[in-house]
């Protein structure tokens, strides 16, 4: 059921549904989320069931502002405060120690919890309307089947979850990939998932380097080895390897990519495909933010065209590409 996210009456309907423990999909600047009130474990269980998501895999709790985040926290660390002051509202999730007895299901049973204040006006309107009705925050993973491509349009949510889910339509998501996740729960900043915010920008705010995840890091959304995957098999290829494969394919060589050469193929690359080729092709933008914006939409379109194999040119090595590179690595994982 599509609702106009620009209509205050639709926001009120969605907020009432959230308050009653029902599910509502809504846009953020990153991707569309499937939301339930974060303080109602039974409502949150409906998210896990709708997505087919393991219940121990934590969700991110969305809040209207920094003040609304505090009731979920046992401690509000200085690291989190610095990040929130710089990047909220925006595509930044901070993980902190969770207050006892609060949002247990949203946290996947962990003692920590991920919190974010999105910048999308429809998301903020929903969060504020829900808060007026006594809802402290909305737990919301991406509004898709677990492990699949995240939706960046309302129509993607309907395609994934069906017509019965209420969807606030807020247009295309600006960012296109999920938020950066920083663990602040253990006294040092640990990057658990890259996004569009660069490591350099984050470290400049913190005044110290980011560490990488270790075996004691809390579980976090979107960090499984295999994630963000289309139905088609994705193969990430260095530019030289891709160019050689395309040339061999154009020449009709049986060794081009067998057995890949005999299945419907799509290519997402900065390199051109051979002239006259019938394969689906999308030019990858030269800017990381533009590639992030369209990434999941492009992969979803290839699925819809019936591609069984997607060749993707490796993104450039610059830090601004870390988020796109991370999503592609996980899309390729078996």
What DSSP character marks residue 43? H
Q: Across the beta sheet with 309-313, what order do the strands follow?
A: 233-237, 309-313, 265-269, 280-283
**Rounded distance, CA 257 to CA 289, Å?**
31
Q: What is the mean pLDDT of residues 140-165?
A: 95
Q: Which ranges of the chain would DSSP assign to H, the alpha helix?
A: 8-19, 41-51, 66-69, 78-87, 121-132, 154-161, 199-206, 239-251, 288-304, 322-332
Distance CA 68, CA 136 (A): 7
- Above 60 in pLDDT, residue 220? yes
Q: How confident is the model at residue 215 (pLDDT cuts 50, 70, 90)?
A: confident
225 has a pLDDT exceeding 90: no
What is the overall mean pLDDT for the chain? 93
Domain boundaries, the chain: 2-206, 233-332
Over 90: is that where the pLDDT of 74 sits? yes
Worst-scoring range by mean pLDDT, 21-35, 129-143, 233-247, 264-278?
264-278
pLDDT at res. 219: 86
Instruction: Write the pLDDT tens digit of every residue in 283-332.
Output: 999 999 999 999 999 999 999 999 999 999 999 999 999 999 999 999 99
Q: What is the predicted pLDDT for the residue at 251?
A: 79
Instruction: Specify the CATH number for 233-332; select among 3.40.50.11030, 3.40.50.300, 3.90.1150.10, 1.20.120.80.
Output: 3.40.50.11030
What percent of the chain has pLDDT above 70?
Answer: 95
**Per-residue confidence (pLDDT) for residue 276, from 0 to 100:** 73
State the Rg of the chain over Cα: 20
Nearest to 328 by CA among 257, 220, 227: 227
Region 13-28: mean pLDDT is 98
Mean pLDDT of 89-93: 98
> Is pLDDT of 261 > 50?
no
pLDDT, greater one: 18 or 275: 18
Arithmetic mean of pLDDT, 10-28: 98
Task: Determine which of 21-25, 214-218, 292-296 has the lowest per-residue pLDDT on average.
Answer: 214-218
Is the Cα dihedral 205, 211, 215, 216 positive or negative? negative
- The predicted pLDDT at position 274 comes to 82
Q: Tell me, what's the pLDDT at 250?
A: 79
Burial class (CB in 10 A: 0-12, 13-18, 19+), 100: exposed
Provide CB contacts within 8 A for 186, sequence distance 6+: 216
The pTM score is 0.94
The mean per-residue pLDDT over the stretch 121-135 comes to 98
- At the topology level, CATH places domain 2-206 in DHBP synthase (3.90.870)
Residue 171, helix vs strand vs coil: coil
Region 101-129: what's the mean pLDDT? 97
Burial class (CB in 10 A: 0-12, 13-18, 19+), 216: exposed
Of the candidates 188, 173, 205, the residue with the CA atom closest to the CA atom of residue 289: 173
pLDDT of residue 315: 96
């Amino acid at each position: 059921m599509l609702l106009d996210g620009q209509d205050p009456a639709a926001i009120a309907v969605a907020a009432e549904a959230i308050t009653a423990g029902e599910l509502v999909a809504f846009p953020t600047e990153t991707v569309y989320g499937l939301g339930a009130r974060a303080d109602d474990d039974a409502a949150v269980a409906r998210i896990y069931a709708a997505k087919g998501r393991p219940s121990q895999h934590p969700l991110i709790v969305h809040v209207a502002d920094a003040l609304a985040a505090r009731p979920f926290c046992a401690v509000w660390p200085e690291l989190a405060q610095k990040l929130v002051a710089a990047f909220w509202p925006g595509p930044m999730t901070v993980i902190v120690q969770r207050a006892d007895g609060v949002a247990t299901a949203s946290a996947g049973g962990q003692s920590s919890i991920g919190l974010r204040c999105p910048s999308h006006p429809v998301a903020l309107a929903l969060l504020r309307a829900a808060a007026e009705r006594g809802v402290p925050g909305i737990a919301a993973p991406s509004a898709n089947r677990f492990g699949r491509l995240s939706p960046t349009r309302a129509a993607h949510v309907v395609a994934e979850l069906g017509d019965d889910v209420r969807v606030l339509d807020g247009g295309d998501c600006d960012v296109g990939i999920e938020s950066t996740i920083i663990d602040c729960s253990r006294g040092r900043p640990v990057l658990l998932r890259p996004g569009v915010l660069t490591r350099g920008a984050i470290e400049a705010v913190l005044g110290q380097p980011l560490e990488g995840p270790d075996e004691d890091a809390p579980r976090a959304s979107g960090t499984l080895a295999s994630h963000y995957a289309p139905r088609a098999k994705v193969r990430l290829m260095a530019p030289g390897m891709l160019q050689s494969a395309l040339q061999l394919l154009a020449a009709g060589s049986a060794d081009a990519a067998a057995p890949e050469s005999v299945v419907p193929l799509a290519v997402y690359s900065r390199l051109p495909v051979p002239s006259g080729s019938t394969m689906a092709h999308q030019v990858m933008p030269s800017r990381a933010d533009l590639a992030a914006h369209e990434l999941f939409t492009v992969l979803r379109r290839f699925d819809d065209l019936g591609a069984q194999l997607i060749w993707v040119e490796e993104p450039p090595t610059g830090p601004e590409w870390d988020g796109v590179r991370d999503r592609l690595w996980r899309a390729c994982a078996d």
